[in-house]
Structure 1
Amino acid sequence: MTSTAPHQSILDKPFVLDLFAGPGGLDVAGRALGIPSLGIEWDKSACLTRYAAGLETLHADVSAIRKESFESLPPEINVLAGGPPCQTYSVAGNGVGRKALDKVKEYIERLMSGDSDGAIDKALGGLGEDPRTALVLEPLRYAIQATRSPNRGNRPYDVIVLEQVPAVEALWHHYAMVLENEGLPDGTKYKVVVDVLDTETYGVPQTRSRAVLIARREGLGEPSLPKATHHAYEAREWNRRTDQVVAQAYQPTLHEEAAPKAEQRTEGDEKREHWRSMGDVLSEPVGTHPGRRTPFLVRSNYGSSGHPGRRGVRTDRQPAATVTGRISRFVVFEHLNESVVREGARFSMNEAGMLQTFPPDYPWSGTAQAQQVGNAVPPLFGAHLLTAALGLPAPDPNLLREPWVPATEEQRAKLRSHGCGAADDCTARCPRPEDQAPPRSTSRKKRVPAE
């Protein structure tokens, strides 16, 4: 794969602060690219995964760090990144954020005009019953705080990279408008690009759409979105009913129609590779992954990225449906002959992570591992975002195919001492899960994980 991007980053020494860092999607991308990062994550299990993976981490609430210990962050950080919790904005979530979009835009303008943190915090109480809705404002509040930090010399971040579910695209456009036209309260302005990108067009073996914002401080050149390297997936005539997929999915004519030749020419005479399928990443043994027998079928019970037409059954020759916290419920069938299938095991967490482009043998730890996998930024997609933001060549599609080497016990203890305050346990400074969870509803609505 070739790229027209310059080989020298627009920054001499990129250093990423990853807000809402999860189990490490963006940080894994940074590690593979040789870019240091520090992640802030409030969930204990996600932090255990990060420590096991050897990633620099603060087990903390993003808002609390900004309010109470921003000056303790490394002053050399010059890239701000983050994917705020999406449950209230996702089409699979409770929708509180989508109903509050106009109100959130108002708070964006108030922040840029210089309203005090106290006034904003008081006003944010009116955003509804789910406190996570206001977290989408945190990247902007961090950007402003950087210009008021004596430890940084009041120096603004050079680059900002944000991603969220498609429903947040309108907010990212509002971010872009104020960053370009009004600037931060100190006068710093940015050049910004925003769009919704499909991750399968960047080599991720699943259909997942994300609203992306990339901003560069004025004087650092025009930002651009990463160029697609793979074809978009089209469902075409793949039948969504299990009984007909079993009979039809493996006919050569359908396979040829659904799988155009790799390196097919596209608009602008650019070459793109064929989208990657589940079988592409799971069929062969790698690390402790024994390889998954093909052909196989996967049945999910929900739509993908807001497109109900994408739900149902897919074969190993197709990308996965959006990997969410429900990945552990995907039912996998092994194909025995032309008309009979046997229900097989569900995806292991190692396999689920590989569908997200985490390296094989990534050390998933703690509880709710499926939710960790589903909430993460696909590392390969994250690598595309970082390279585009920094003006680097597009990453090699095989960048993350080698097994991950976990941290040693000594390394984990050191990371946890820094992140939690003790080598083997959380301390009083670590957040409690209930501090950010929405209050229990009096109605008995079914809880649905976010996309």
Structure 2
Amino acid sequence: MGTSVELFAGGGGLAMALHDAGFRHLLVNEFAPRACQTLLANKAAPHRDEAPLPKRLSDKWPLIQGDVREVDFTGLTGQVDLLAGGPPCQPFSLGGLARGDTDDRNGFPWFFRAMREIQPRAILCENVIGLMRPSFRDYFDYITRELSAPFEQRVEGESWVDHNKRLVKTLAHPNSDPSERYDVHVVPVNAADYGVPQLRRRVLMVAFRRDLEIEWRPPRATHSDTALAHALVDGSYWDEHDMAPRPDAIPAVLGPVDGLRRWRTLRDAIRGLGEPGPDKVEHPDVDAHIRWPGARIYAGHTPNLLDRPAKTVKAGVHGVPGGESVMRLDDGSIRYMTVRETARVMTFPDTWKLAGPRGEQMRQLGNAVPRLLGEVFATSVASALRGAR
């Protein structure tokens, strides 16, 4: 069983993933009050300075509620196997304002400080694929260099461009201390390729401390669009759902069989939930499964289709954009996805409670890491760390 610290924990997707992969959280940090309420309603408890560190995987996660800039990590130096987190993505998101390094919400500098103070054996960092856009590519390369050499600290008044130049020179030096260097792996992913019923493109950054001499390969994709197409054509998909084929969902062209499992669809994700009740009325049996009025579609906001993976769940600058949370039903009508349906698409368990009103719940889900995607990569990291012991 490994140990972990997670920053920018949000609604708990990655924290759950690490836990399910066998990591024991020594500390979790989150700033947003509603997200903190969600964590506390599930597996977290308020952090107390005098309390001993968790000893069992079943222990509550110690949650520090507040600004990561004010957290002192030095008490955990040398005790943490994995430092994980998704620094706020709005500065680099295609759906945000894309201010990048100039945005006060950029959490990477504080993630690097935590690396220096904790000196973890490994890193798992998730962010939006927008970080790899041409307009941000230089800054993304800078981030990967700072992950490689976090002890080459940016000094006060130094621009990231000048710091980057210094990092390039430092990393070219062959005689550096391997305990202060990390081997970084950049892995662009589509969550659907790992069994998540959602088209969600992200970039994962995995790093291992160089003195551990770990050779790591990213987990291979397990699911594919091609396999889904074959299941739609040969009827096995429809048999699973005990329904007649829908001609509009059957592809006209098939690629060669690839031996992978099929992509999971929205229909797969919400199976067994049933329809929500009247508008704004709590479902008697399912938490957060509430119909919401006003669904509409328009140019650029097309609905989710039941027999495809869901579109990317988004938090949005002002809540959830229209089309991304609208679904088309079998009778041709449309409605908003419920919070519970959206949580299913994010592979959150039905027992996970989300705090706040609907918009805040959806924001937490849109900002989260799909639990299953995180677990796949956390399990791979845990296996590599065990091999290094």
Number of residue pairs matched by the alignment? 301
Counterpart pick for 2:202 among 210, 213, 220: 210
Counterpart pick for 1:131 among 99, 104, 109: 104
Counterpart pick for 2:33 among 44, 63, 71: 44
Measured in 1, the distance between the counterparts of 2:213 and 2:375 equals: 20
Query: Deviation of residue 204 (structure 1)?
Result: 0.8
Q: In 2 relative to 1, CA 198–323 (structure 1 residues): closer, same or farther, beyond 3 Å? A: same
Query: Deviation of residue 366 (structure 1)?
Result: 2.5
Aligned ranges for residues 60-75 of structure 1 at < 5 Å?
Answer: 60-65=66-71, 69-73=72-76
Aligned equivalent of 1:96 = 99
Contact 2:303–2:328 at 8 Å: present in 1 too?
no
Q: In 2 relative to 1, CA 27–73 (structure 1 residues): closer, same or farther, beyond 3 Å? A: same
Measured in 2, the distance between the counterparts of 1:173 and 1:384 equals: 25
Aligned ranges for residues 181-260 of structure 1 at < 5 Å?
Answer: 184-185=151-152, 187=177, 188-218=180-210, 219-232=212-225, 252-257=246-251
Q: In 2 relative to 1, CA 215–392 (structure 1 residues): closer, same or farther, beyond 3 Å? A: closer
Aligned ranges for residues 265-304 of structure 1 at < 5 Å?
Answer: 265-266=257-258, 271-285=259-273, 288-289=285-286
Measured in 2, the distance between the counterparts of 1:159 and 1:40 equals: 18
SS in structure 1 of the partner of residue 223 of structure 2: coil
Measured in 2, the distance between the counterparts of 1:94 and 1:20 equals: 19
Query: Deviation of residue 231 (structure 1)?
Result: 0.7
Q: In 2 relative to 1, CA 375–183 (structure 1 residues): closer, same or farther, beyond 3 Å? A: closer
Query: Residue deviations 1:105-164, cap 9 Å, x none?
Result: xxxxxxxxxxxxxxxxxxxxxx3xx3113x222222211223xxxxxxxxx210011111
Measured in 2, the distance between the counterparts of 1:17 and 1:142 equals: 9
- Give, as a single letter, the amino acid of the residue that structure 2 aligns with 1:324: K
Note the residue ranges of structure 1 that are not aligned, 5 or more in a row: 1-12, 101-126, 147-155, 237-249, 293-297, 304-310, 394-451
Measured in 2, the distance between the counterparts of 1:142 and 1:214 equals: 16
Aligned equivalent of 1:383 = 375
Aligned equivalent of 1:322 = 312
Query: Deviation of residue 317 (structure 1)?
Result: 0.4
Query: Residue deviations 1:69-96, cap 9 Å, x none?
Result: 3234586222111101111210111111
Query: Residue deviations 1:257-291, cap 9 Å, x none?
Result: 28979xx843xxxx31110000001022499449x
Give the fraction of aligned pairs with identical amino acids, expressed as a percent: 27
Query: Deviation of residue 234 (structure 1)?
Result: 11
Q: In 2 relative to 1, CA 167–79 (structure 1 residues): closer, same or farther, beyond 3 Å? A: same
Across the aligned residues of Structure 1 and Structure 2, the Cα RMSD in angstroms comes to 3.4
Query: Deviation of residue 253 (structure 1)?
Result: 4.7
Contact 2:227–2:263 at 8 Å: present in 1 too?
no
- Give, as a single letter, the amino acid of the residue that structure 2 aligns with 1:159: A
Aligned equivalent of 2:130 = 167
SS in structure 1 of the partner of residue 354 of structure 2: coil
How does the TM-score come out when normalised to structure 2?
A: 0.68
Measured in 2, the distance between the counterparts of 1:258 and 1:29 equals: 37
- Give, as a single letter, the amino acid of the residue that structure 2 aligns with 1:39: V
Measured in 2, the distance between the counterparts of 1:43 and 1:62 equals: 11
SS in structure 2 of the partner of residue 49 of structure 1: helix
Contact 1:87–1:93 at 8 Å: present in 2 too?
yes
Query: Deviation of residue 377 (structure 1)?
Result: 0.7
Counterpart pick for 2:344 among 342, 347, 354: 354
Contact 1:21–1:40 at 8 Å: present in 2 too?
yes
Measured in 1, the distance between the counterparts of 2:379 and 2:264 equals: 21
- Give, as a single letter, the amino acid of the residue that structure 1 aligns with 2:266: M
SS in structure 2 of the partner of residue 143 of structure 1: helix
Aligned equivalent of 1:3 = none
SS in structure 1 of the partner of residue 250 of structure 2: helix
Aligned equivalent of 2:22 = 34
SS in structure 1 of the partner of residue 204 of structure 2: strand
- Give, as a single letter, the amino acid of the residue that structure 2 aligns with 1:158: R
The structure, 1 or 2, with the larger RCO (C-alpha pairs under 8 Å, 6+ apart) is: 1
Aligned equivalent of 1:334 = 329
